[in-house]
Structure 1
Amino acid sequence: MARAWIYACFFVSGFSALVYEIVWSRLFVHTMGTSNLSITVVVAVFMGGLALGSALGGRIADRVESPLRVYAWLVIGVGLGSLAVFPLLRIASPVLGAVYRLNDGQPDHPFFTIAKALVCAASILLPTAFMGATLPVLARHVTSNLTHVGARLGALYGVNALGAVAGAAAAGFYLILRMGLAGTAVLAAALDILVGIAILVAHARARTPAPAHKGARHARERATRAAAPPSHAGAPAPITVSRAVRIVVIAYGVSGFVNMCLQLGWTRALVIAIGHSTYGFSVIVAIFILGLALGGWIAGLFADRLARPIAAFGWILVATAAASTAAIPRLGVLPARFASDMAAAVRSGAPGTFDFIAFMQAGALQAALVILPSTILMGMAFPIVGRVRALSPQAIGSAVGIAYASNTVGAILGTAITGFVLVPLAGRIWALLYLAAGAGLATGIAVLRAAPGGSRGRRCALAAAVIAALLGFCYATRPAGVLDAGAPPAPERARRYWNPAIFAQGSIKGVYLAHGFKSHDAYVEALLGWWDVPYYRDGEACSVAVLHRRADGHRSLHITGKADASAGESSFDLDTQLLNGHLPVLVHADPRACLNLGLGGGMSLGAMAAHRDVGSIDLLELSPEVVEAARLHFADVNGRALENPKVRTIIGDGRNHLAHTARRYDVISSEPSNFWIAGIGNLFTEEFHRIVRDRLRPGGVVCQWVYGYNIRGEDYATAVRTFLRVFPHVTVWGNSVGDTLLLASCEPVRIDRARVAEALAAEAVGSSLASIGIDAPEDLFRYFICDGAVLRAWAGEGAVNRDLFPILEFSSPLGYFDKDAEILAQLAAAAPGALPEDMLRGFSEEQVRAARTRLRHGRMLRDFFRKIGNRSFSGALDIYEALAAERDSWSLECAAFLLADRTADMGAERRAHLRRARGIHDTAALCAVDGYRPGPAAGDMPIVEHFTRLAKAAPPGRWSTLVALARVQLHANRVDDAFASIAAAAQRGAPEYKLVFLKGLGLGMRNELAAAEKLLAQALALAPNDPRAEKDEIAYNLAYCLEKLGKSDAAAAMYRRARDLGYNADAIRAAIERVLHPRVK
């Protein structure tokens, strides 16, 4: 066969190989779970098969007459073997279940791990071994002598890797979405089988003698046979391998280890920047392999002409380490940089032109800038190593096989050791990347020392210079907080490198945050000023951070750059987090055994554990870091649920546990993350819902969270349509910001009033539900949206999300940046009728009317939130007026709090909205942001009396109400009352700087000026650089205190600082004039 056709066939092999890898990785998740241990087992077996096949295939290639024919049978074997994976995994599933039940609740038990490894090996070891053998076999065919080993290997490696790039892109962006997993695998298998058959047919024709009368055909045949390499039959003679060559092969294995560490580190960092959707991972894989392909092709152009190839290999390793090191600081600021760039693109483009495709295109460019330089150098190593190891024309296959196997074994070790040792040990992605780059640098220097020929001293001197330069670069760009103690102050920009306050935010949500800033620097400085990060950890499976907003104490739990839980007065999803635990327990008649899938901040778990009739709860959480963060930083809002003896914490894959456990549950509450995230879609498939249904006891209830924001209507419909195929009786509940809960059972869902009332009478449950406006059973229905009949009609017929056709994971990211589909409004419009009375049990007619009223109030509040989100303040205030007419104090307080928060950037227009709202119904939140002016309803009542009345009507637990009350009391010279309010606010978790500021004001009013100065200065130091903190007012009051103490120069300087912080310029000008030029009396 002509060499071009051989390369084309090898391109197709590379294409199919990556398709298999992607498809199999998804299949094994269904059977073996998504824990780091399970994924490592799959990767180790996959790459182990490649290494085994490479080592054996090289030896076979050197002994057979026709390596090309062997290659043909190998690719046919890969195709046939891949088709067997599906039925083998189906057969293995009950076996795995039986093994799991021997140690139920221990997903990482050694017996279960061994069973998974055996299942994996039985399924894919043979086809992966065939894959691994193809490279040395084909290399033996196309290489007849040592003069062009590098060129041929570079061409083969580059072509195969380009095919892999095409396979990764095709499977990740198109094939699985359109054809499903099975269809995609069948396509890849068909390509391999067709390639193998085509080669066999062509090979047979090339060896068949032509009839004498067909001269032209005979001439072509002779030309083909002349182009074919000579026979390779017979065992090659023994070859002596020098020490330097052995060092090269070992170093190539170490480089496989290093490269895998770098790939894992890059991936963990990049998905925080470009989003951890399936498309983000596909982009990273495709770019990584593209770099290898380009590197192999480039090195093939000159590898055979190198005078000292071993030294060249050493320098390539050194250059790879240098390029990898240079990329580390960029990765540390990339989430914020990318968010700023995307926000600028949104501002400069026409409305509606920015979408997820544009986001991913820009993300691909950023990923390429980070990893392409290093991966090109990585790819350059293979042709050179192959040339060094190929010592005889008769042993080229063995040489290539040994080199490739060495590198692959290193990659296997890199996968396992990185995940289980290096990441937990280092605790930071940047530490892993620096360790990997350092190991690569040391390996390169070792090769340079062993390289024969040339000036070893000159090489060592140059390597020392490279090391010195890299050390200087690393010091100048060191991560925030590293080597700062006792050292000269770090450069200002160095505070940004890998600073968790910047890095943990991610960029896919950061686009919205950065939109309000004119420059990247302004955005970054805002993040640094806003947030404390009391917890950050890069764990085996994900990166976990707890962010604490200094201005108001808001806390959020970020997992790989996405907020998955929050707590604080400005948390608008606390209601969903609590309802996800309370609602299914309230509905079930006797909820003894419960399961909570996904911990987050632990509020759902705490809600579930608060019920006295709940006997046991199995908590399923994939990441131990999430458990630690919830225990350390959310215990006050989750009721210390993780310390509750009812709770059994299982660290592992929730789906895997449910699929294999022998336990049955009365209640299963599932609140995973959004299914646009890679891997989460497996918890929203029809098969998963059937697994959940099968684990319910008779009468069991399931509560499934589904997000209704950043999503297209058709994707939400697919999610609920899939759910409805399994559970016939469903009701939908939700909050005001787009979260929905599907409450379902195999029997009709009933709300028993007596049971709900009994639960509310318990202090733990009653106080928890009161915090979200539920004081009586009827209040529960402010969160009701519609019943299953309405939902079924709205969703209609259409696509269903299945294990083998995971459309949600591929479709939902595409709508992330689209205009809000307003799912809740659509569902409400589809259910304009009354509350379904067959759902109510034990409600009197009056109570039914009250429940219907709360249902109406809930819809009105959702409409209010929607209009505020659309910046339609006039329409929102119309709804506010309607709520006031119905005297729903809870909804009014929620609406007023949102109005006060969302009008902060409106300037003079804000005043008009606030005055209208206060004229309709005044609240403490509105009064506080309106400068504590008496509202229209106050009449002649003093402001302190008016505000005290408003504060009593505010929802319980808000520290901001007490802080505002203290300020009003201070203005009224009620210092003792103010100090009592300050103490109460401290008990509710008010930020320290606010408490210190108010105490300083109080002492100043008592004329204890020296003590007041100290406290005000402390408050100014503690206050964050955040408009919410009103730092300018603190500075102004400190300046006034200094003025009263007679410290004129210091007072004038502080007045100027207050002006710089944004205080009224006219007031500052008058104050400075008064201080510096006092009037003589």
Structure 2
Amino acid sequence: MNKRLKIVIIVLFFISGISSIVYQVVWQRYLTFSFGSDTLSTTIIVSIFMLGLGLGSYLGGKISDSLDDLKRLGLYVIIEIVIAVFGVLSSFFLYDILYQKFSTENLLLSIFLSFVFLLPPTVAMGSTLPLLSKLFETSLREIKTNTYYLYAFNTFGAAFGAFIPFFIIVPRLGFNGLIYFAALLNLLCVLVTILMYKSLKHIPHNRTSNSEKEEELVVKETTQLNWYLLFGVSGFIALSLEMIWFRTLHIMLKGNSFTFPVLLSIYLVGIAIGSIIGLMYLKKIKNPTHLFFRLQGLIVLSTLLSYIVLFFVIKNSELIESFNDYLYRYEKGRGFRMNFLTFFLTSFFVAIPTILMGVSFVSLQEASNKSIVSFGKKLGTLLFFNIGFSSISVIITTFFLFQYLGTSQSLFFLSILLIILFIYKILYIDTSYIHKTESSLLIVTTLICMAIFPDNQSMWKVFQGSHDKEILVLEDKSSVSTIKLNFLDSKTDVIFLNGLGQSYFPFKQDLGHVQLGYLPVLIHPDPKKIAIIGFGSGGTLYAASQSEKTDHIDCFEISTNQYDLVSTYGKMIDDKDINRLFNDDRIKLNIKDGRKALLNSDEKYDIIEADALRADSPYSGNIYSVEYFELLKSKLSPGGFAVSWAATERVTNTFAKVFPYAYTNGFMLIGSTSKIEIDLNSPVKEEFKALPIDWKKSVLDFKKVEYHSDQEVNNDLFPRDEFNYVYKN
């Protein structure tokens, strides 16, 4: 391939990488409305997407070997058009149809419909690399080099797409705007490819040189099936590490909606850089089989060492006391220092392992793919196994490793997997004493790291700035929940969810949540049935349960460990309010996505409220949007109240757009479809009278809020507040 054509193809793959990652992230967001944003739903969504990519890789490779170059280009044009069409239609199908028309149907139907829609575009995305890997090349060496360049720059594009659009486009145009941007990129690829196609019809292609015939006859060091399985295991480890890194960083950084795009971007940049490094030193790779295994060992070992180093530095060094204070504190940071910390800490964990992952892709191809005739098929099958095992990794890491082992022991599991891999290498691959010794040393080094690696409780204690303080930790598939004892003083403890402070104990210390739960009950004339979205410490639920008129309360929480942690804590300190809460027959504790549960329920409530959630938290847009408040309105009994934290002025305006009678005291919002009559003589619960709250004044502080059409609101597909971290109107 001449230099100009190579640059054009590389640029096309860079652009294609941007659009693909945008679709992946935005489609996952669309599907949370139908499936919910809990752990099971997220796992289903990711698995559907990855299954399509894997199938596409296999089919693209199989087809590629039977086509000439111009037919490959023609098929590539069709693929990009298909992706663009499905991109443009995705909002209509995944949100307007699947969510609004079929969301109340059973889970299996939603999975089937999602799969039917996502299969064509994801198969198309997965097919592009193996399809074009042999484009315009006449030797095996040229094909491999072309593949490494395409893989690297497609990954660079994905890294760009994971970062820049979410900082620039989403805050200005929302998710639909981002989808249209991605579709335009696909159409740009179509236009450039058509122009290139027309100018290349006269050029002959696909000539296999005689010198390559000898290379095709090289005896493989292991069977092709073994290579497929080995690359599958490599994908399993890589994606499991990505999930472990994200959980760690999200908790340490007290993450917002931009934490995952930053992590994903750095993760992908590392892989792309590693691919380029592997390409640069290609001629020096004399034994790619041993290099591939060596790299897998270094990926896991470098991860173990990064955790060990950071653990002991935080625990023993006074030089980073300010960082330790940040880990311990209630709120997240803002500004340049926070952005720098996010970049630095992410790079510290992710950079070296992901660079090694990129090099390992090159070493794998060098070791396993030695035939020009079947190169595309083998590349596609390798990617199919890699993506397929990655999909399995999502399920196992979520529902087994995090659930039963925790983050620390999940790394133990991957270390054991690595040791098994090297035992296999010693028994079946190593033929020399030097290689056997090297493999044995790597196993011993891994065992040493495992021996000094902190257990789960100790690790989270240090990584949340509490190495010299008392702390309770409970981790499972959904989250890491923590109670820091004696947080403010000897009388106040605080519950944290994924590193971020939620509320205080005892309940009566947290006056904000007490008011959030109790004021609507105090104002409503007959609050028989109540729904609370979000548990937190249980403070809002506790306050809302204080009316003797209330017969039933449904509480919805997606973090599956919070109920258990708070219950354990209540028993440990013999807190009567907490224990009474868990023994109240009127209260039903549900482990569900609250919005999804309300959507699928025919129940009507006198009061529905969401526990306070920061407006820039991930998925916070789902409970501060016009559509969410419309859902609440549809589930209210006559004269019922919808209640929300007045997190921002935009939230207040959004709330007022939906409810004709909306009131705020500056802290919380109460809305109804009918005028709210306030009875100032409503009796206050005796135990709440002693609190430093003027209840009569708190009730009188509520003023009617009017909707302003000239001001912005939050929508499901344009959650302005959630992505308002960088750009502000």
Q: TM-score, normalised by structure 1?
A: 0.62
Confirm or deny that 1:97 pairs with 2:103. yes
The match for 1:697 among 622, 633, 637 is 637
Alignment-derived partner of residue 469 in structure 1: 445
C-alpha contact 1:567 1:637 (8 A) present in aligned 2 = no
Alignment-derived partner of residue 731 in structure 1: 663
Task: State how far apart, in whole Å, the 1-side matches of 2:207 and 2:690 are.
Answer: 83
Q: Which amino acid in the other structure matches residue 727 of structure 1?
A: F
Confirm or deny that 1:674 pairs with 2:614. yes
Deviation of 1:779 (Å): 3.5
Alignment-derived partner of residue 130 in structure 1: 124
Confirm or deny that 1:32 pairs with 2:35. yes
Task: State how far apart, in whole Å, the 1-side matches of 2:109 and 2:310 are.
Answer: 38
Deviation of 1:771 (Å): 3.8
Per-residue displacement from partner, 1:661-684 (whole Å, max 9, x unpaired)?
Answer: 221111112114212211122211
Q: 1:670 to 1:336 in 2, by over 3 A?
A: farther
Task: State how far apart, in whole Å, the 1-side matches of 2:72 and 2:312 are.
Answer: 50
Q: 5+ residue gaps in structure 1?
A: 100-110, 210-224, 348-353, 482-496, 506-526, 708-715, 735-739, 816-1081
Alignment-derived partner of residue 476 in structure 2: 539
Q: 1:672 to 1:587 in 2, by over 3 A?
A: same
SS in 2 for 1:811: coil
Per-residue displacement from partner, 1:712-768 (whole Å, max 9, x unpaired)?
Answer: xxxx2112111111122222236xxxxx111221222222234x12xx3xxxx321x
Alignment-derived partner of residue 492 in structure 2: 554
Alignment-derived partner of residue 380 in structure 1: 359
Deviation of 1:286 (Å): 0.5
Q: Which amino acid in the other structure matches residue 652 of structure 1?
A: K
Alignment-derived partner of residue 772 in structure 1: 691
Return 314-323 or 237-246, whichever deviates more. 237-246
Task: State how far apart, in whole Å, the 2-side matches of 1:397 and 1:193 are.
Answer: 25
C-alpha contact 1:578 1:607 (8 A) present in aligned 2 = yes
Alignment-derived partner of residue 1058 in structure 1: none
Q: 1:813 to 1:553 in 2, by over 3 A?
A: farther
Alignment-derived partner of residue 292 in structure 2: 313
C-alpha contact 1:151 1:301 (8 A) present in aligned 2 = no
Aligned length: 705
Deviation of 1:242 (Å): 7.1
Deviation of 1:243 (Å): 4.1
SS in 2 for 1:702: strand
Higher RCO, 1 or 2 (CA under 8 Å, sep at least 6)? 2
Per-residue displacement from partner, 1:434-493 (whole Å, max 9, x unpaired)?
Answer: 3223323432553464337xx433212122222223333443453487xxxxxxxxxxxx
Alignment-derived partner of residue 587 in structure 1: 523
Alignment-derived partner of residue 503 in structure 1: 463
Task: State how far apart, in whole Å, the 2-side matches of 1:271 and 1:469 are.
Answer: 29
Q: 1:340 to 1:41 in 2, by over 3 A?
A: farther
Alignment-derived partner of residue 429 in structure 1: 407
C-alpha contact 1:601 1:638 (8 A) present in aligned 2 = no
The match for 1:741 among 668, 671, 676 is 668
Task: State how far apart, in whole Å, the 2-side matches of 1:654 and 1:337 are.
Answer: 42
Return 637-646 or 540-549, whichever deviates more. 637-646
The match for 1:616 among 527, 535, 552 is 552
1:318-717 pair list within 5 angstroms: 318-330=297-309, 332=311, 343=322, 355-426=334-405, 428-447=406-425, 449-451=427-429, 455-479=431-455, 498-500=459-461, 502-504=462-464, 527-529=466-468, 531-533=469-471, 535-549=472-486, 552-568=490-506, 574-634=510-570, 636-638=576-578, 640-707=580-647, 716-717=648-649
Per-residue displacement from partner, 1:786-831 (whole Å, max 9, x unpaired)?
Answer: 4024xx49x884221111111111114779xxxxxxxxxxxxxxxx
Q: 1:342 to 1:657 in 2, by over 3 A?
A: farther
C-alpha contact 1:154 1:298 (8 A) present in aligned 2 = no
C-alpha contact 1:622 1:653 (8 A) present in aligned 2 = yes
Q: 1:541 to 1:307 in 2, by over 3 A?
A: same
C-alpha contact 2:61 2:381 (8 A) present in aligned 1 = yes
Task: State how far apart, in whole Å, the 2-side matches of 1:342 and 1:726 are.
Answer: 47
Per-residue displacement from partner, 1:355-374 (whole Å, max 9, x unpaired)?
Answer: 52331123202210211100
C-alpha contact 2:308 2:453 (8 A) present in aligned 1 = yes
Q: 5+ residue gaps in structure 2?
A: 210-215, 327-332
C-alpha contact 1:165 1:286 (8 A) present in aligned 2 = yes
Deviation of 1:568 (Å): 3.9
1:902-917 pair list within 5 angstroms: none
The match for 2:155 among 132, 157, 161 is 161
Alignment-derived partner of residue 752 in structure 1: 679
C-alpha contact 1:83 1:185 (8 A) present in aligned 2 = yes
Alignment-derived partner of residue 850 in structure 1: none
Runs of 4+ with deviation above 6 angstroms: 237-242, 333-340, 344-347
Return 278-287 or 560-569, whichever deviates more. 560-569
Task: State how far apart, in whole Å, the 1-side matches of 2:67 and 2:516 are.
Answer: 65
C-alpha contact 1:75 1:192 (8 A) present in aligned 2 = yes
Per-residue displacement from partner, 1:165-207 (whole Å, max 9, x unpaired)?
Answer: 1101122211111121111101111111221232023212321
C-alpha contact 2:460 2:473 (8 A) present in aligned 1 = no
Q: 1:77 to 1:9 in 2, by over 3 A?
A: same
Q: Which amino acid in the other structure matches residue 478 of structure 1?
A: P
Task: State how far apart, in whole Å, the 1-side matches of 2:631 and 2:134 are.
Answer: 50
Aligned-CA RMSD value:
2.9
Return 471-480 or 27-36, whichever deviates more. 471-480
Task: State how far apart, in whole Å, the 2-side matches of 1:464 and 1:771 are.
Answer: 68
C-alpha contact 1:313 1:447 (8 A) present in aligned 2 = no
Confirm or deny that 1:267 pairs with 2:246. yes
Return 324-333 or 364-373, whichever deviates more. 324-333
Deviation of 1:586 (Å): 2.2
C-alpha contact 1:172 1:278 (8 A) present in aligned 2 = no
Alignment-derived partner of residue 57 in structure 1: 60
Per-residue displacement from partner, 1:133-189 (whole Å, max 9, x unpaired)?
Answer: 001001122543222444222211111000011101122211111121111101111
Alignment-derived partner of residue 809 in structure 1: 722
Confirm or deny that 1:69 pairs with 2:60. no
SS in 2 for 1:402: helix
Deviation of 1:619 (Å): 0.8
Deviation of 1:241 (Å): 7.5
Q: Which amino acid in the other structure matches residue 673 of structure 2?
A: C
Task: State how far apart, in whole Å, the 1-side matches of 2:141 and 2:691 are.
Answer: 77
Q: Which amino acid in the other structure matches residue 697 of structure 2?
A: F
Per-residue displacement from partner, 1:332-385 (whole Å, max 9, x unpaired)?
Answer: 4788899985948999xxxxxx95233112320221021110011111122222
Q: Which amino acid in the other structure matches residue 399 of structure 2?
A: F
Task: State how far apart, in whole Å, the 2-side matches of 1:143 and 1:647 are.
Answer: 68
C-alpha contact 2:34 2:103 (8 A) present in aligned 1 = no
Per-residue displacement from partner, 1:30-67 (whole Å, max 9, x unpaired)?
Answer: 22210111001110011100000000111011112232
